[in-house]
Chains A and B, each alone.
Chain A
Amino acid sequence: MEINELEKTAAAIRVTIIKSIHAAGSGHPGGSLSAADIITALYFEIMNIDPQDPKMKDRDKFVLSKGHANPAQYAALAERGYFPKEDVMTLRKLGSKFQGHPNMNYVPGIEMSTGSLGQGFSTTVGMALAYKMDKSTGRIYTMLGDGEMQEGIVWEAAMAAAHYGLDNLTAFVDWNGLQIDGRNDDVMKVAPIADKFTAFGWHVISINGHNMKQILAAADEAKHTKGQPTVIIAKTIKGKGVSFMEDQAGWHGKAPNDDECAQAIRELGGEQ
């Protein structure tokens, strides 16, 4: 896909994020919008996947370790053709397969149930080990939040991934700087993220997480990095694309009302 098409797709995914969270009446718009460009790039350009055959052998796999951003993942999977977009509008409703946090046994294309922070990342270590054992050409991708890096299991997994030289594993950090109680720097400092991963033995790339060109170039560099896993630290804006949500901790876990939803869709250039 061309860069401008990827950007258009990301905008469409942002519209679905807003609509589905509005329909649900709860959810996490801020971190879904900050993650949207990377998730779009993964599903539409970077990964070798087949919506007609979600369990294809040697496919690339993506685990959303920051599981609360799953409206972005559901929207991307729908846009990619795994299921109809209307289905996603049942998000968080009783009986829906689109649970508040992703369930691998309900939704095609979801590779791991996540939601409890840090655990998705840890499971990707196992997935990457399995692909190594099987001499698979498939690659494993994951995305962590910045606040998520406060979980100890993240560093256990980071140590193991480097120890086993998992160069088939690429992690994105969605570094929007905010978490529920405020700025990372105020709640519990996670910086310097790059130095931490370097010390743990990872190849580190820093990018602007809303620049498609940079996202694709970083993923390509990761693919060609041998002997160690790669982390792509993506500086992002929480709530990106919706003026009143941008860089506001208050939009971490709150649904827009009718007026806010209409305005957000207008700003994103979507159809009401």
Chain B
Amino acid sequence: MADKQATREAYGQVLLELGEKYDNLVVMDADLSGSTKTGVFKKAFPDRFFNMGIAEQDLMGAAAGLASSGKIVCASTFAMFAAGRAFEVIRNSIGYTHLNVKICATHAGITVGPDGASHQTFEDLALMRTIPGMTVLNPSDGNSAKELIRQAVAFDGPCYIRLGRASVPQFYGEAPDIKIGRGNLLREGKDVTIVATGILVSSAMEAAESLKADGIDARVIDIHTLKPIDEEILIRAAEETGAVVTAEEHSVIGGLGSAAAEVLSAKAPVKMGFVGQLDTFGESGEPDELLAKYHMTAADITAKVKEVLGK
């Protein structure tokens, strides 16, 4: 087991396995196959790979056409241009039709790094979450990414899978107990719950560990499925710990924080805090520098927990 892996690397690896398993699996890209790692599939299954050029709208439209013809389609490009530029094509031709397209969007969030603000998307989870019938996944490490992609390809319907550029710690095992739609309780705790998604799950675990020193017993939950969200695990956490802090590499507007608040404000209101990109654009820099500058580190989660608990 590798200590660190980018979720996009895991995507490339699992595509090979899935290509063997499903002879109707088709992979599409928009001139980024080296970066998204679909190039790995292209090499193994050249007849089932289509490069659509730098044309993300047509990528999604053609994906819908292939899916309507009985293919399972994994369509990849950077998250900014998948969820952002092609949003309305996804909404009408993949969402409204409920077609079997898995949008595997890489280079999400601020950890895309030096490419800067034009390529750093903080809006994709919010956008995808608003589409009826769309399953929205945000794996936290390579192993969970592989398992979630396996499960996504196994069901019939549209799915958005958020993947990252940067290598992140691998903390799920090779065969993780993980299921679409079910949150994962990673750490028990009774004073507060940190609900995290994507690459901030490992930061949440770090934060929980450091909070011990302050006498705060923090629960940690991985919400890898933003939609349909596991309401039960959130409600139980709120009722048992009395406070919830969310953490995501995404805008605090519309992502995990909003999704959790939608559930909890109605069914188990507790004090909440939100760690994520604060209504601002990013900039060029290394991933770690950017996470620090834009307040999405373990230390930021720790500080937010203390603020919410008034300590």
Determine whether the beta carbon of B58 is less than 8 Å from that of A115.
no
Instruction: Verify if B63 is at the interface (C-beta below 8 Å from A).
Output: yes
Determine whether the beta carbon of A160 is less than 8 Å from that of B58.
yes
Of all chain B residues, the one with the shortest Cβ separation from A151 is: B57
Instruction: Verify if B64 is at the interface (C-beta below 8 Å from A).
Output: yes
Determine whether the beta carbon of B58 is less than 8 Å from that of A130.
no
Tell me which of A117-125, A170-178, A248-256 binds B.
Answer: A117-125
Of all chain A residues, the one with the shortest Cβ separation from B91 is: A116
Instruction: Verify if B53 is at the interface (C-beta below 8 Å from A).
Output: yes
Interface centre among B58, B63, B67, B73 (most CB of A within 10 A): B58
Tell me which of B44-52, B110-118, B193-201, B290-298 binds A.
Answer: B44-52
Instruction: Verify if B65 is at the interface (C-beta below 8 Å from A).
Output: yes
Give Cα A124 to B63, complex, Å. 10
**Cβ–Cβ < 8 Å partners of B67 in chain A:** 126
Within 8 Å by CB of B93, from A122, A128, A163, lies: A122
Determine whether the beta carbon of B62 is less than 8 Å from that of A160.
yes
Determine whether the beta carbon of A160 is less than 8 Å from that of B69.
no
Within 8 Å by CB of A112, from B52, B65, B70, B89, lies: B65
Determine whether the beta carbon of A104 is less than 8 Å from that of B58.
no
Give Cα A173 to B188, complex, Å. 63
The total of interchain contacts (Cβ-Cβ below 8 angstroms) comes to: 103
**Cβ–Cβ < 8 Å partners of B47 in chain A:** 133
**Cβ–Cβ < 8 Å partners of B73 in chain A:** 126
Determine whether the beta carbon of B65 is less than 8 Å from that of A127.
yes
Determine whether the beta carbon of A105 is less than 8 Å from that of B98.
yes
Determine whether the beta carbon of B53 is less than 8 Å from that of A160.
yes
Shortest A99–chain B CB gap in Å is 10
Chain A residues with CB under 8 Å of chain B are 103-105, 111-113, 115-116, 118-119, 121-131, 133-134, 152-153, 156-157, 159-160, 163-164
Give the contacts of B4-47 with A (CB-CB under 8 A): 26, 47
Of all chain A residues, the one with the shortest Cβ separation from B61 is: A122
Determine whether the beta carbon of A153 is less than 8 Å from that of B92.
no
Determine whether the beta carbon of B96 is less than 8 Å from that of A126.
no
Give Cα A258 to B96, complex, Å. 34
Within 8 Å by CB of B97, from A113, A134, A164, lies: A113
Of all chain B residues, the one with the shortest Cβ separation from A124 is: B65
Give Cα A122 to B68, complex, Å. 13
**Cβ–Cβ < 8 Å partners of B50 in chain A:** 129, 164
Determine whether the beta carbon of A113 is less than 8 Å from that of B96.
yes
**Cβ–Cβ < 8 Å partners of B88 in chain A:** 116
Determine whether the beta carbon of B53 is less than 8 Å from that of A163.
yes
Chain B residues with CB under 8 Å of chain A are 26, 47-48, 50, 52-53, 55, 57-58, 60-71, 73, 88-89, 92-93, 96-98
Determine whether the beta carbon of B48 is less than 8 Å from that of A123.
no
Of all chain B residues, the one with the shortest Cβ separation from A134 is: B69
| Known contacts A105-B98, A116-B92, A119-B93, A126 near B55 by CB under 8 Å | no
Determine whether the beta carbon of A130 is less than 8 Å from that of B97.
no
**Cβ–Cβ < 8 Å partners of B89 in chain A:** 116, 119, 122, 153
21 A-B residue pairings within 8 Å (CB atoms): A105-B98, A112-B68, A113-B93, A113-B97, A116-B92, A119-B93, A122-B58, A123-B62, A125-B58, A126-B65, A126-B66, A126-B67, A126-B68, A129-B66, A130-B66, A131-B69, A156-B52, A159-B58, A160-B55, A163-B53, A164-B50
Determine whether the beta carbon of A122 is less than 8 Å from that of B97.
no
Shortest A91–chain B CB gap in Å is 19
Within 8 Å by CB of A105, from B52, B65, B97, lies: B97
Give Cα A130 to B93, complex, Å. 16
Give Cα A271 to B47, complex, Å. 54
Determine whether the beta carbon of B97 is less than 8 Å from that of A104.
yes
Determine whether the beta carbon of B62 is less than 8 Å from that of A129.
yes
Shortest A138–chain B CB gap in Å is 10
Of all chain A residues, the one with the shortest Cβ separation from B48 is: A133
**Cβ–Cβ < 8 Å partners of A126 in chain B:** 61-69, 73
Determine whether the beta carbon of B71 is less than 8 Å from that of A119.
no
Shortest B84–chain A CB gap in Å is 15
Determine whether the beta carbon of B68 is less than 8 Å from that of A125.
no
**Cβ–Cβ < 8 Å partners of B48 in chain A:** 133
Within 8 Å by CB of B52, from A103, A123, A131, A160, lies: A160
Give Cα A129 to B24, complex, Å. 13
**Cβ–Cβ < 8 Å partners of A121 in chain B:** 61
Determine whether the beta carbon of B96 is less than 8 Å from that of A125.
no
| Known contacts A122-B57, A153-B57, A160-B53, A130 near B98 by CB under 8 Å | no
Determine whether the beta carbon of B68 is less than 8 Å from that of A111.
yes
**Cβ–Cβ < 8 Å partners of A111 in chain B:** 68
Shortest A152–chain B CB gap in Å is 7
| Known contacts A123-B64, A160-B52, A130 near B57 by CB under 8 Å | no
**Cβ–Cβ < 8 Å partners of A157 in chain B:** 58, 61-62
**Cβ–Cβ < 8 Å partners of A123 in chain B:** 61-62, 64-65, 68, 93
| Known contacts A113-B97, A115-B92, A127 near B58 by CB under 8 Å | no
Shortest A171–chain B CB gap in Å is 13
Shortest B30–chain A CB gap in Å is 10
